[in-house]
Amino acid sequence: MKKCLICGSDTTDIIDSQIRVTHSHCENCGFIYKNKEFHLSLDIEHENYKMHNNSFESKGYVQIFVDLVNDYINPLNIKGKVLEFGSGPGPVLKELLVREGYDVFDFDPFFNKNLGYLMHKYQLITSTEVVEHFVEPLKEFEHLSNLLEKGGYLLLMTRLRTMDSEEFLNWWYRRDLTHISFYTLDTFKEIGKRNGLELIKSNNINIIIFKKI
């Protein structure tokens, strides 16, 4: 029996015969994690990301971030530095924020390994469609929390798991082989409690906003 990587509770196996992987499910905080023996190699993971059409040529993709900026980021009234963490091969969100006048740094472990971002503290960190790829989620969230100024915000975009563990086996989101970490709102509340972050807003679909306390 494996321990939950978020809260340390015992987990149960979810055997997914369709994509031939096994996940560990924590009933305490709701976290589901693809067992490490089923993770892709870094080279194959990188190849998968390069196939994503995440650029200004994709109008639908761009509109998602235009809406994110207008509906969730601008209302935060950020005056200091912003970090786009996991910006991908085409940093669309970073460019949109720069156009809005924000002072933005970006980092991506595959496409932009500029470690200069570690030299600053941020009033806002955005991480869109990234946290579902975290191999060591609690460690990564601790890292992001440490980069935030007190009173700063962490804005995430990832699909929340709102179904039970049986329905999870029919969820399209788990079929992406690069997705290994799946969260509920309770999971994020537990993550916040362990990292000095207060969950202040969610659309209960795919947007989560924390504030550093």
Q: Which of 3-17, 33-47, 122-136 has the lowest mean pLDDT?
A: 33-47
Q: Is residue 14 part of a domain?
A: no
Q: Is residue 176 part of a domain?
A: no
Q: Is residue 5 part of a domain?
A: no
pLDDT tens string 165-190: 889 999 999 999 999 999 999 999 99
Q: Is residue 88 part of a domain?
A: yes
Q: Which domain holds residue 123?
A: 41-162+184-212
- Bridge partners, residue 108, by sequence: 112
- Higher-scoring residue by pLDDT: 25, 59: 25
What pTM did the predictor assign?
A: 0.94
Q: Is residue 124 part of a domain?
A: yes
Question: DSSP 3-state assignment of 155?
Answer: strand
Question: DSSP 3-state assignment of 207?
Answer: strand
d(CA 53, CA 63): 14
d(CA 134, CA 150): 24
What lies within 8 Å, CB to CB, of 187 at 6+ separation is 6, 29, 30, 31
Q: Is residue 123 part of a domain?
A: yes
Q: Is residue 128 part of a domain?
A: yes
For residues 105-126, give the mean pLDDT.
94
d(CA 199, CA 196): 10
pLDDT tens string 44-94: 988 877 666 566 667 788 999 999 999 999 999 999 999 999 988 878 999
CATH of the domain at 127: 3.40.50.150
Tally of structural domains, the chain = 1
Q: Is residue 57 part of a domain?
A: yes
What lies within 8 Å, CB to CB, of 198 at 6+ separation is 192, 210, 211, 213
Task: Tell me which amino acid residue 109 is.
Answer: P
Per-residue pLDDT for 193 more than 80? yes
195 neighbors 146 (Cβ within 8 angstroms): no
Instruction: For residue 157, report the phi and psi dihedrals to the nearest 5 degrees.
Output: -125, 115
For residues 101-110, give the mean pLDDT.
95
H helix or E strand, kind and range, residue 43 = helix 42-50
